Structure 1
Amino acid sequence: MNGPHGEKPRQGWAGLWNISFGFFGIQIGFALQNANMSRVFQSLGSSIDDLPALWVAAPLTGLLVQPIVGHMSDRTWLGRLGRRRPYFLSGAVLAAIALLLMPESGGLLMAAMLLWMLDASLNISMEPFRAFVGDMLRRDQHTAGYAVQTAFIGTGAVVGSLFPYLLDHLGVSNTAPAGGIPDTVRYSFWAGGLALFAAVMWTVLTTREYAPEEQAAFARAEPEAGEGAPAAVALAERGMADGLAWIAAGAVVALAVRAWALEKEVYLLAGLLAAYGVATMVAIRLARSGRSASMLAGIVGDFSGMPPLMKRLAFVQFFSWSALFIMWINTTPVVAQNFFGSADPASAAYQEAGNWVGVLFSIYNGVAAIAALALLPLLSSRLGKARAHAICLIAGAAGFAGFLVLRDPEALVICEVGIGIAWASILAMPYAILASSLPQGKLGIYMGLFNVFVVLPQLLVATVMGSIMKAFFPHEPVWTMAFASVTLLVAAGASLRMGGEVR
């Protein structure tokens, strides 16, 4: 039954639980990937210098998949299966298969291809979950909805991160011959695949999406029915020089790689810039010929026509996620070398460090789960969402800085508390702000485009960070944590500047 003035019905805790429980399983998959893929790659023979290149599959996949899935899910309705749930289900099946196959990787190439498949599948499931909260909840419940989703993300990440550590303490072998993967990691991936599929199926089976005609009946959705035409008109009026400028930027980056002998992975960045330039030119031609409803024209038009608030939040997200990707790539090598005294992946000390990183990751995710429900609502009600977000990001910057001054691996738990507070806010606050300000009919595409600013910094870290570290801090990965701290401070400053316009 509709609420007052045709609003969506208010969801109780059971409804909030069912809407986001699938994210618990998705985050188990992400946690296993984030905490263990560097370990898997190095166990299969990769050097630390090659890690960013191997990891680049993950952000590149997200960059391509999320806007496409967002665009398509806005236009999908498969009867009883609904609008977003077909993507939850298909992504979960593919991700579970990738997790089951990952421990059987026969070499680096197979592991890299499975990482690509895993990340693509997780993104297929994850992107619609962001829009799903906005679809199912009235606006005054958006903060609560994303807080519950963040709590499930944190809890799922704790479970995924702790799998190898717990199996080790249960007597499962934590070492393997050169070129092999320890049984602790192997069994963790298998269990994670099953858990991911079961959690997503819970959401698929316990929720019922509002049909297009039901969405149209809600008073707050009706004014948005015509949204999108201005973006198409604006795209048709743009000149081809815009696309040529992106192509030229790609050429400049490619020339810089050769001139300054940068890492070859930076060529990927050059290629992406040029590809977006070509896509822009094609989209402009489609819009001018009256085919603005095509997927390419729609995505490019909506990207260039993002609402001003979304653009300001995108800047905050860009720097926030730069820090996170630095952490996921480098924490295991940093902890192994600086706190356990070994950079050799075949050593027992390195594998012990890998397990401790899993514990540390579980701690920051556990803190995030608690902070999402206890701290964020309190801060946002008193300070506003933007200022609360800034304070949480500053806590995360302090946590990253701690890696440079602490010497006891157990003391790193303190760092993870600050990082966990930041992580909770990064997962909840920007989406709560966006969901209440975006047109309902374009919630999927805008959430997908917003996640471009989650992916772009990851690509930059994966392509540029290797060159920076090799030039200035060779064999000292701990300095990556200083970069992470600074980028979070930049994001916090940008969020503080938004404080006056966002409550």
Structure 2
Amino acid sequence: MESRPRLSFWQIWNMCFGFLGIQFGFALQNANVSRIFQTLGADMEQVPGLWIAAPLTGLLVQPVVGYFSDRTWTRLGRRRPYFLAGAILATLALFVMPNSPALWIAAGTLWILDASINISMEPFRAFVGDQLPPSQRASGYAMQSFFIGVGAIVASLLPWLLAKAGVANTAGPGEVPDTVRYAFYFGGVVLFAAIGWTVLRTREYPPEVLASFDDTPATDPIAANAAARVPTAVASAWLLAGLALTALIAHRGWDRMLYVLAGMAAAYGVLLFVSRVLRPGSMVPAIIGDLRTMPRTMRRLAIVQFFSWFALFAMWIYTTAAVAGTHFGSSDPTSAAYNEGANWVGVLFAAYNGFAALAAIAIPWMVRALGLRLTHLVNLWLGAAGLLSFLLVRDPQWLLLSMVGVGFAWASILSLPYAMLSDSVPATKMGVYMGIFNFFIVIPQLVAASLLGFLLKSLFGGQPLWALVLGGASLALAGLCVLAVPRLAAQEARA
């Protein structure tokens, strides 16, 4: 058996370039969807529920795409067919989103947009694990972070830049401003072109060649199939817990968004029952079996990811309302002050992505000096400081300094967990394990969408600024959890 050959800088550049387009779409979504929802008449309390589309589609799409991409081989390759299909669908959704005539159409388009981006994004994570030897994976994921930063800078700035160029930044009630519409059109073109570049300029190892490499652990199908046979008592416990929580929420009259948490528990119980009756080795039992036999490193990283992405989702949902209300003095989506604040949030999001691009250059050096775990801890704590500072800073210009810490955390979250993970999973299941790892990105987002509105209303007088404070505390906790991740000698030696 042999190891994967090392790739040149430009080969890594080409294989990661498509992430510029993916992040262009995500950045437009993250910076503008709350604004679109509020413009179309959504109350602030409704916005988290409308955002549920984004993480829920990732929860459903990524493991399924990972499962099938592991088993795909066409003339276009193993992962690249999914790059292309997702790019086509996401481009169409970006053209439709800012022209939504009603709130329910915008919410439905968000489902389609996020599902499409996830179809492309999930195989990109596995693509690095497929193509690069372990010694280059941290650099490969850092390169993805660099393109994520560059793409998001431009995408987040677009409405602000268009307003500076004289494009209308306000519109009548129920109408999305031209600055947002034109930004989404441009984003669709960039997304398709960038992913198309990676599709055309890269190659993939055939399955038999990939199986010959000796730098990843072997899979144990017997153990995975056995794990899929979950005891009836375990499946029943999850289902009953979901039903009991549903009854409690109804009895207490709690926020309806909490039903999402109850539904997640009940749905997992149903899936466990389904995995017992389907043929072993089919998709659902295979995914459940792999979930239950995750490597120890992956289990510990899952906790880190949970708290990291809870914080990020809090930031994406509430920064527009927090900055517009606290720093620009308006919560009215039709006012000039609110839209000025919303555009400034685009600048802030561009700033943290710009700092993330710079951090992506620094991270390999930090890893060599500190190792993977300590580098990730430091970066998460920088992000925590950035979000917590929103409570103290009142001049919106100074919020740019807060974004330095957020940028370092963002670059680290997008690279180092995957570098730590990829060495611990089998090559033949790289796609499905990357999809399963996405559970621990999506579940915290669903928890945030379900719980944050309830917490803000119950404890913080409905003030969105406190969601950012909760996000900062969550990032600080994620940093502490990094210390529980096993220290792999091979990884630290490469550092």
Among residues 284, 291, 303, which one is paired with 1:315 in the alignment?
303
Letter in 2 for 1:182: P
Q: Counterpart of 2:273?
A: 281
SS of the equivalent of 2:17 reads helix
Q: Tell me which of 175, 181, 190 is aligned to 1:180.
A: 175
314-323 or 365-374, which deviates more: 365-374
**1:272 corresponds to which of 237, 256, 264:** 264
CA distance in 2, matches of 1:206, 1:87: 15
* 1:227 shift after superposition: 3.3
**Distance (Å, rounded) in 2 between the aligned partners of 1:35 and 1:305:** 37
> Which one-letter code corresponds to 2:465 in the other structure?
V
**Equivalent of residue 383 in structure 2, options 387, 391, 396:** 396
Question: What is the alpha-carbon distance in structure 2 between the residues aligned to residue 436 and residue 239 of structure 1?
Answer: 30
Counterpart AA for 1:315: I
CA distance in 2, matches of 1:209, 1:100: 31
User: Which amino acid is 1:207 matched to?
Assistant: T
1:19 equivalenced with 2:15 (yes/no): yes
Aligned partner of 2:36 in structure 1 is 40
Whether contact under 8 Å (1:387, 1:499) holds in the other structure is: no
Quote the sequence identity (%): 52
What letter is aligned with 1:263?
D
CA distance in 1 between partners of 2:485 and 2:445 (Å): 24
- With 125-134 and 264-273 compared, the bigger mean Cα shift is at 264-273
1:243 is matched by which residue type in structure 2? Answer: A
Quote the Cα distance in structure 2 between the aligned partners of 1:172 and 1:235: 56
1:165-199 per-position Cα deviation (integer Å, ceiling 9, x unaligned): 11111110000001100000000001101110010
What is the TM-score when the length of structure 2 is the normalising length?
Answer: 0.97
Alignment of 1:307-386 (within 5 A): 307-374=295-362, 376-386=363-373
Aligned to 1:234, which of 227, 230, 236? 227
Give distance in 2, aligned partners of 1:109 and 1:7.
Answer: 51
* Partner in structure 1 of residue 99 of structure 2: 104
Amino acid at match of 2:453: G
Paired with 2:400 and 2:483, the residues of 1 have a C-alpha distance of 27
How far apart are 1:305 and its partner, in Å? 1.1
Query: Residue in 2 aligned with 1:434?
Result: 421
Match of 1:94 in 2: 89
Q: Aligned residue for 1:473?
A: 460
User: Could you list the per-position Cα deviations for residues 42-80 of structure 1 after superposition, in whole angstroms to 9, with x for gaps in the alignment?
Assistant: 1111111110011011111111111111111101111x2
SS at match of 2:46: helix
Instruction: Give the 5 Å matches for 1:139-150.
Output: 139-150=134-145
Spell out the pairing of 1:149-164 with structure 2 (5 A cutoff).
149-164=144-159
Pairwise CA distance, 1:252? 2.4
Aligned partner of 2:448 in structure 1 is 461
1:136 and 2:128 aligned: no
Aligned to 1:298: 286
User: What amino acid maps onto 2:5 in structure 1?
Assistant: P
Query: Using the alignment, how far apart are the partners of 1:200 and 1:210 within structure 2?
Result: 19
Paired letter, 2:123: P
- What displacement does 1:233 show? 2.0
Match for residue 254 of structure 1?
A: 246
Equivalent pair of 2:355/2:408 in contact (CA under 8 Å): yes
Q: Secondary structure at the match of 1:48?
A: coil
Would you say 1:443 and 2:430 are equivalent positions? yes
Deviation at 1:500, TM superposition (A): 4.5
Deviations 1:413-456 (A, max 9, x none): 11100000001110000001111221100100100000100000
Q: Structure 2 regions of 5+ residues with no counterpart?
A: none
Native 8 Å contact 2:297 2:486 kept in 1: no
Q: Quick one: which amino acid aligns to residue 321 of structure 1?
A: W
TM-score normalised by length of structure 1: 0.95
Q: 1:387 maps to which residue?
A: 374
Tell whether the 8 Å contact from 1:227 to 1:439 is kept in structure 2 after alignment: no
The residue type paired with residue 28 of structure 1 is F
1:15 is displaced (CA, Å) by: 0.4
Residues in 2 aligned to 1:46 and 1:416: alpha-carbon distance in whole angstroms: 28
The 2-side partners of 1:442 and 1:331 are apart by 37
- Distance in 1, Cα, partners of 2:62 & 2:486: 28
User: Cα RMSD between the aligned structures?
Assistant: 1.2
Distance in 1 (alpha carbons) for counterparts of 2:247 and 2:408: 41
Aligned residues: 490
Name the CA shift for 1:431/1:500 in 2 (closer, same or farther; >3 Å): closer
Find the residue that maps to 1:346 and give its secondary structure. Answer: coil
* Partner Cα distance (2:265, 2:227) in 1: 21
Residue matched to 1:423:
410
Query: How far is the alpha carbon of 1:263 from its aligned partner?
Result: 1.6
Aligned counterparts of 1:261 and 1:472: Cα–Cα separation in 2 = 16
Aligned partner of 2:57 in structure 1 is 61
Distance 1:493 1:201, change over 3 A: same
Q: Decide which moves more: 249-258 or 493-502.
A: 493-502
Please say if 1:127 is aligned against 2:122: yes
Tell me how far 1:318 sits from its aligned partner. Answer: 0.2
